[in-house]
Amino acid sequence: MQLDPARRPLSDSGALWFVVSAFGSLGGGWLARGAITNATGVAGAATSGDWARLLAGLASIFLAGVAAWKLARAGLYSWLLPLAAANLFLLQPGRAGDLRTWRLEWGVMGLVWTLAAVLVFARLLRRSDELERRLHLEGAFFALAFGLVGSVVYALFENRLPVLRAQWVSVAMLVAWWGGFQLKALRYRWHA
């Protein structure tokens, strides 16, 4: 077995943009959330450091958006799956609080994200060729199988495990989908 000599470099494969986008959104979210929490906390007033952190966070999130756009423009849709998983971790829509207005706001946001995900998925299928479609189907099946086995295992050990949050299931299934896609793609990437 040898590696296909005509493999694309790292920047063309989408790995670089994925790393930029994942670190940009996670780091930016962490910075912005820290600044807002600090400014609205005990001190009650934003310091210049808080403003700097907030601006750095927003710039980082903007950079993450540009990187995700680059991935979509290049048709590297498989990288959007782990990216969605990383951003689900950041958003944590389950932590909406008890206020009805908060829950409504998070519900609407969830709906918008779901609609966006459906549109991206439809575009993914339209832009993919027949082999890529097959790989995505196999990856999605892998995620489904992983989800089913995972839910059975969780049910068996439920009393010893922490409470399962819906977004963790989504994150796990997205990662499993992407993992399945990459695993199946290996079969076509290598040759004798």
Partner 1 sequence: MARVKNRLRVLRAERDWSQAKLADELRVSRQTVNAIENERYDPGLPLAFAIARLFRLRIEDVFTPDA
Instruction: Name which of residues 121 to 160 contact partner 1 (CB under 8 A).
Output: 129-132
Of 2-10, 86-94, 106-114, 175-183, the segment contacting partner 1 by CB under 8 A is 2-10
Closer residue to partner 1 (CB): 24 or 180: 180
Which residue in the set 3, 6, 99, 152 belongs to the binding site for partner 1 (CB under 8 A)? 6
Closer residue to partner 1 (CB): 60 or 78: 78
Which residue in the set 8, 95, 103, 165 belongs to the binding site for partner 1 (CB under 8 A)? 8
Closest distance to partner 1 from the beta carbon of 128 (Å)? 8
Closest distance to partner 1 from the beta carbon of 115 (Å)? 27
Closer residue to partner 1 (CB): 131 or 155: 131
In SS3 terms, the chain reads as CEECCCCCCHHHHCHHHHHHHHHHHHHHHHHHHHHHHHHCCCCCCCCHHHHHHHHHHHHHHHHHHHHHHHHHHCCCHHHHHHHHHHHHHHHCCCCCCCCHHHHHHHHHHHHHHHHHHHHHHHHHHHHCCHHHHHHHHHHHHHHHHHHHHHHHHHHHCHHHCCCCCHHHHHHHHHHHHHHHHHHHHHHHHEEC
The residues of the shown chain that bind partner 1, judged by CB under 8 A, are 4, 6, 8, 129-132, 185, 187-189, 191-192
